[in-house]
Structure 1
């Protein structure tokens, strides 16, 4: 899809391109290309986030009053598109796109003053404490409990599939503070210091061979009352608001277009014996491209709503569903394109840390791990089944 840009927008695009050329190193581009996860390790992100922070460009969707650039929807789209085209690392969405908007809307003045600048600078790295063993899609049944004792909550329980908990120094968590007939009414939203005594992190290895997720245990973990966001018992409302931004508050199609272009280039190369000449490969690539164009239109519509000050709403479920399915389609055809090279397994991780000759060329090295890692895309942030249920009830009115 080609957008018509105004002269001012064209100047802004040139400004972004010049900034990227000056601050995005070849090492960061390579690390980003070989990163198979939706999240980038801190050593990949840190130099890029530092440069963005100095320019005031870390959080494209944030308003001026909270340290963001206050960009228009078109500027956000241009920035995200140019970063994707250049292969820039993706900053962790946990702080910028998830807990940040919740604090802006529901946090106290003190919470905003303390946490928001630290999110922008990268001083705080966040993880999400939502899912539990037995409480994934049925999140309202969560059992991690926070009992108030004086000026503190004491937290006991466990969270699972906690992405990058091993890097994080902060967690935003849904915890049970009371037992109510309606389970959602007994849930509160807490901010937890991951260095608190009583927290244990146990790694869970992905099928791709990467360490992205963990199980986190809380054993009498003390959390100050000041770390409660909003009102006690209203955490379900705040958690749903956060999920709207996780699912539909960002821009995914430019990154997916970049991934598709890389796959298309590989299909045209000698490394794949010019797989593009195979009709089934050419057809799949064309179908994905059409799906991407549809996703672009939908994301632009949501960006326009955000520009007006609206939250993403239930349409975020459509974006999350389609973006995850398109991502899986891209990685699936990528494995088909690399052919017999898909049988080669590089066991060392992370791939970007390899400083000697890999077993197969880097252009095909990450194809299989990326495909395997991407199987989780239709589960995390709410499974595809949950998204379809939300779409049926809240968008279609069924």
Structure 2
């Protein structure tokens, strides 16, 4: 293994093209050392965090490379196999190729909320995209990959309304609820942020490559793992702490009893973030995790964007406390939806869309809200029927 060069000239050359924006940390050796640390450690490595906080990133690297029998021996045995100059150079080259930026503590672009993680905070972050205003209110909206039409409908609408108020919507870009939240925020031209469990040069899931490109256009795609790093189960779990830390409030929209979203909720609770959940039908296993948040985490019951804005301490316009302006705009579409439903014959989302003349996604969103209001029910096979008001029965 060749020796890592921590001279100022080499450090400046190594990070060339990876920095940008105002107020960036000026010491190239310290910045380069943090990039190296991001290659050496797994997310949330507290031993690295404590050492770097004590002596700085560059001095900490020198301590590790010097070796010697000390309290760091076990940690050193984890880090040294990755201390390959060629591997570090490959990660930095991959970042340049995809247009990623290296962001370190002290930069204007560094999300200061992340510092609440203390020793478990990332040593550096990698970002694709423009970024979002660091002082803007931020809400993490999370939920299950195996989402229902109801869950995705709520996610799209909630994210759209929050983004329209100027709040930044944060999620994890996964299928299901996460993707619906990002799409909802983008639909209003609002800001949204995705945190990945692998490098920002490796869109994951692959089916969301286009969505991640759109997110990077108006917001940002972040990761603490270097470019080229693969998403792993541990990195997904550790990524959740960043989603929670980055936000002022965390809302679980739909989650099963053991959903990974509850891991994010747990981090939010430990960090003192405001925590809420969207209730679902009491018979739905897909919402059992949300009900756990309401019961075990003392979460706020969220039924509208106004509830989330109240969690953030924002002034809620009087009209938001009642019928949402979006609801009024959708009155005609809702009427068309119920014209296409039957209390006796269960119909698929596609059939409802065809009969009503609505786009499939729009029909799915409206069906989700109709289920929440008790005006429609879904059979086990996913088909829908209307419910007669006041009867509680189809």
TM-score (norm 2): 0.26
- Which protein is bigger by CA-based radius of gyration? 2
Relative CO higher for 1 or 2, CA cutoff 8 Å, sep ≥ 6? 1
